[in-house]
A and B are shown apart, each in its own frame.
Chain A
Amino acid sequence: MDTTKLEFLRGTLDVLILKALMWGPLHGYAVTELIRRQSEDALLLEEGTLYPALWRLERKGLLEAEWGLSENKRKAKYYRLTGQGRRQLRHEVRTWEAYAAAVAKVLSATQPPLAGEAR
């Protein structure tokens, strides 16, 4: 496994989980898989972080869980977004994008601000 393990920034885990569930109900294993594949193996969720996060989101009412049969015929707990979860996702995505854009602007700067404004 030669994937770069990126540390999850605080707060990004929740939005990633919510995003993963946007396409439909998934169990925990599928959530890790989805995030791994979509980040092209850059983001690898550890079980020790994933499950507490899922449960926390369930408790907040952003997710709801239901037991079902997995494709390999095992009983698995499926999570799905609630209406509240969907709203939260939209909100967090916007915040994240604004934040990322701002950070990118600062980091990609090639010259100091105009002389008159900075001292």
Chain B
Amino acid sequence: MKRIPLWRRYARFFGPDPAADAKDELRFHLETTIDELVRRGWTPDAARHEAERRMGDLRALVRIGACIGGKIERRRQVREYWSDMLQDVRYGLRTLMRDPGFASVSILILALAIGANIAVFSVVNTLLLRPLPFPESRELVRIGPPPTPCGVSCATFSADEFEEFRGQNRTYEDVTGYEAYTTPDNVRITLGGEPQSATSIMVLANFFQVLGVQPAMGRLFTADELRGGPHPVALLTNTYWRRELNADPAIVGKAMEMNGVAVTIVGVLPESFDFGAVFSPGAKVDLFTPVDLTLERHWGSIVALFGRLKPGVSIPQALEDGNRIGPNTFHDVTRPETKGQDKDSFLPMPLKDYVTGKLRRSLIALWCAVGAILLIAGVNLSNLLLARAAARAREFAVRGALGASRRRIVRQLLIESLMLSGAGAVLGLGLAAGTIAWLAHQGAVVLPLLNSLRIDGQALGWTLLLAMVTAILFGVLPGLKITAGNLQEVLKDSSQGAGLGRRHERIRAALVVSEVALACMLLVSAGLLLRSFVRVLDVDLGFQPERAAAIQVAYDEVGSDPMAREERRSVAYQEILRRVSTLPGVEAAGMVDFLPLGPNRDWDTPVPQGKAFAPGSLPAPLVYVISPGFLRALGIRLHGGRDFTWDDGPKSQRVVLINASAARLYWPDEDAVGKILMRDKGQEQDRVVGVVDDVHEESTESGGGAQIYYPTTQQQPDWAQLVIRTSMPPASLGPSVLRVLREINPKQPAAEFRPIRTVVNRANSPRRFFMLLVGGFAGLGMLLAALGIYGVTSYSVTQRSREIGVRMALGASSGRVQRDVLGNTLRLALIGVAAGTVASAVAARLIASLLFDTSPWDATSYAGMILLLVAVAILSGYLPARRASRIDPIQALRSN
């Protein structure tokens, strides 16, 4: 047998034809048989006849041949495709290895962009997309009134309202809640050694059952513990059990001392349950105790309500149910006049929306920002690929001339960009994993669910998708562009495709312009957010957080006679404050029960004496119980009147301080000092002795509700927080203050000073978090844009070195050349900035709701960011421009 003859190449010019192959094969057989028969002496006609007879049904045979041949052909094609692919991959790897600079720069760019995208996707996924970590979490709702200026306090219910609502509703599987007024380190736990501070939350006994949380050990609270139960019990969180009890496996049933009372530990909650992450971002909770509904009946609105809807019940149905029950509920069943007091408050809201709804806009903005980063990175990659492709134009032309189809060449490019984006994605995944791990442990950022941040299957899917899309969009489009060119032209042209180069330069310029525009949009948005953040920091909070610090003081109220209790408390507080004030470095000291920017509460609705207000038109002011000296310690300014003194005792006139907003509300055109506020239908009369500044209570960004201050000498505070103003670092004062507290009360647990600044920073942390991220992305975008400008200018200088050489030989000065190159760069940058400003205006409108006290058209932000961008553009154009001006005309003319 001879090898395949040349003519076979053309035999199947129009592609493989299995039927014809089978026919050919059988014809050969037929003819050979005839030859043989003729040789044996048959006549040709008879021989043909005989041969055909032996062959049988030729057509059927051809059909079988065509069918099997077709299958063989298809398999061969698949095999060839994969072997070609493998060849392309190997070839691609070799080409990339040959140019490690290009490969590493593009992989790095992609890794940064893809990494940022994965990280943000994971955050978005955790906060917005993934359901809450409870079984059937879609059925869980928060029950409360629409948002009001008075915050938490107006969003809670009394113990009786809870029971009424629980009993009367038809749409809820069950209703539960927790006591909303808890400060950190609110209990004193003794486990054998020194007393330690811990954070305890009081929950309604069915809380965990409604959420669907199963204990890791022991049991949950039982129904009879809704009313206290036979003896005090507590549930521990998993982290507390591990940290403080060394994960004692036999802890269930043991007792511990809590605020001097023996409490039985009935169970340990699972590790997956994190109260703070869902209900109170940033808070760490150590243990839970059941609310005693009977005891708390008269404490007012203290319960934050949650519920689980019956399966299939919609939010509007539950809303209707709530509105039906509302008018029939008693705030306090022992007081008939409180019927229907909170009738419009039983509004259900999906728990998920309650937890993360406020962040939706910020997160979407963040997502868009990283999307823009990916676009910029992609454009950069396109640019790099184009530059490389121009250099490789001859290679492609030669391959094309040797028979490689356009498809094959585009596939080659696709494989190369897939390899780049694949490597970028892997590296980006690593970067994202690092970022995510870091973020998940940011206790100082008050964002919900942060602790459950992780890279999961969805994030991996997202990564894969990004890598593919980037590779195809930014890798293949330039490929198509290149191969669309006339190959002959390229081969003919000796100087690396000058005609092609020109056209590419236009594309590349367009790419740079779009890059600059995107970067400009990012920068302006970041600028607006930065300015908002600065504005927030500048807000007059009504107190001076600098140099102030707070520590939890243990003080047990003793006795049942209120008058005697107030006497004793007054003496104790006075003694504490006197001794703390004498410590070196302490400028002022005072006591308060609730710090600003934390939880707060209201009691009832005081009415100014001698004034008529329509019932229900007066709000319930937020209540603070403070000691003399507190105003000075926290730096709250007194507008008129005086501070409390120790002489405002239990037996003297009841006195209060109100804030400016309350004064305006009660006595719009008069001086409030000296006026009387009445509570309990005039049974309680409090004289206003002073008016103080409005203090931002809920958040740094909003404030202005009515506030009222009672003296600790006349009212019982819920907790005692010692606030000091000091010229020294508060931490250094900790030990000596603690010593004083221990001398007065040996049960005082170990505690640390919390600088008020950190309280404020925590309140600002979500804004800071988003601002930093968007700012970081904007910086990254700018860097990538600068890289793009540098790349394009540098490339065009290289391409035009001959032209520049000629011009310099004809007398152009080096300064002139440099100016030209720079001018060109500046032109691109300015076009980009112009387009970017328009885009920014659109983006700014979209993020307008995220801005604080900053107009979306804030000229300073725009001007500053545009100047910055132009400066960076000039800088990145300067290096190639300088190189252009140093071109030696002789050398430039000689080369090429």
Contacts and interface: CB of A to CB of B under 8 A. Distances in A.
Interface stretch (A44-52, A87-95, A101-109): A44-52
A13 interface: no
Given A47-B26, A76-B25, A58 B68 contact: yes
Interface stretch (A2-10, A23-31, A111-119): A23-31
Given A46-B56, A47-B54, A68 B68 contact: no
A48 B61 contact: yes
Interface string B1-27: 111110010010000000001101110
A51 B26 contact: yes
A48 B514 CA distance: 69
A74 B11 CA distance: 14
Contacts of B1: 25, 66, 68-70, 78
B55 interface: yes
Nearest to A58: B72
B31 A74 contact: yes
A37 interface: no
B28 A55 contact: no
Q: Secondary structure at chain B's binding surface: helix, strand, loop or mixed?
A: helix
Contacts of A58: 68, 72
B32 interface: yes
B35 A72 contact: yes
Contacts of B69: 55
B64 A52 contact: yes
A72 B33 CA distance: 12
B56 A48 contact: yes
B72 A69 contact: no
A68 B32 contact: no
Contact of A55 (B5, B24, B33, B64): B64
Contacts of A27: 25, 28-29
B538 interface: no
B65 interface: yes
Given A29-B33, A69-B5, A52 B68 contact: yes
B57 interface: yes
A68 B4 contact: yes
Contacts of A48: 55-57, 61
A77 interface: yes
A46 B4 contact: no
Interface string A62-88: 000011111010111110000000000
A56 B33 contact: no
A92 B5 CA distance: 35
B60 to A, nearest CB: 8
A58 B64 CA distance: 13
A79 to B, nearest CB: 10
Contacts of B33: 29
A5 B775 CA distance: 91
B32 A70 contact: yes
Nearest to B69: A55
Contacts of A46: 54, 56
A77 B61 contact: no
**Which among A27, A48, A58, A70 has the highest number of chain B CB atoms within 10 Å?**
A48
Given A59-B72, A68-B1, A28 B25 contact: yes
Q: Output the residue of A25, A51, A58, A72 with the most chain B CB within 10 A.
A: A51
A68 B3 contact: yes
Interface residues of B, number: 30
Given A55-B68, A69-B2, A28 B57 contact: no
A58 B69 CA distance: 9
Given A25-B1, A58-B68, A70 B29 contact: no
B130 interface: no
Given A55-B68, A58-B68, A75 B2 contact: no
Nearest to A74: B28
A29 B28 contact: yes
Contacts of A74: 28, 31-32
B827 interface: no
B388 interface: no
A49 to B, nearest CB: 9
Contact of A76 (B28, B61, B65, B71): B28
Contacts of B32: 29, 70, 72, 74
Contacts of B29: 27-29, 47, 51
Contacts of A29: 28-29, 32-33
A25 B25 CA distance: 15
A69 B32 CA distance: 13
Contacts of B3: 68
A47 B6 CA distance: 29
Nearest to B58: A47
A66 B31 contact: no
Given A48-B61, A59-B72, A70 B28 contact: yes
A51 B57 CA distance: 12
Interface in B32-79: 32-33, 35, 54-57, 61, 64-65, 68-69, 71-72, 75
B65 A55 contact: yes
Contacts of B5: 67-69, 75
A46 B53 CA distance: 11
A70 B24 CA distance: 13
A59 B73 CA distance: 9
B68 A77 contact: no
B28 A75 contact: yes
B437 to A, nearest CB: 50
Contacts of A68: 1-5
B37 to A, nearest CB: 12
Contacts of B2: 68-69
Nearest to A25: B1
Nearest to A44: B54
A58 B1 CA distance: 18
B28 A51 contact: no
Given A28-B25, A51-B25, A77-B21, A66 B35 contact: no
A25 B55 CA distance: 22
Contact of B4 (A56, A67, A72): A67
Nearest to B32: A29
Interface string B193-231: 000000000000000000000000000000000000000
Contact of B24 (A25, A47, A77): A77
Contacts of A72: 32, 35
A55 B18 CA distance: 11
A108 B494 CA distance: 87
Q: Which of B1, B8, B65 has the largest count of A CB atoms less than 10 A from its CB?
A: B1
A67 B8 contact: yes
Nearest to A48: B56
A56 B57 contact: no
A47 B32 CA distance: 13
A67 B2 CA distance: 9
Contact of A47 (B21, B55, B72): B55
A66 B25 contact: no
A56 B21 CA distance: 15
Contacts of B35: 72
Contacts of B31: 74
A70 B388 CA distance: 51
Nearest to B5: A69
B307 to A, nearest CB: 67
Contacts of B65: 51-52, 55
Nearest 4 A/B pairs, CB to CB:
A55-B68, A68-B1, A48-B56, A77-B25
20 contacts: A25-B1, A27-B29, A28-B29, A29-B29, A46-B54, A48-B57, A51-B26, A52-B65, A55-B65, A59-B71, A59-B75, A68-B2, A68-B3, A69-B2, A69-B5, A70-B1, A72-B32, A72-B35, A74-B31, A74-B32
Given A27-B28, A47-B55, A77-B24, 7 more contacts: A25-B1, A47-B61, A51-B26, A51-B61, A55-B68, A56-B68, A75-B24
Interface of A: 25, 27-29, 46-48, 51-52, 55-56, 58-59, 66-70, 72, 74-78
Interface of B: 1-5, 8, 11, 21-22, 24-26, 28-29, 31-33, 35, 54-57, 61, 64-65, 68-69, 71-72, 75
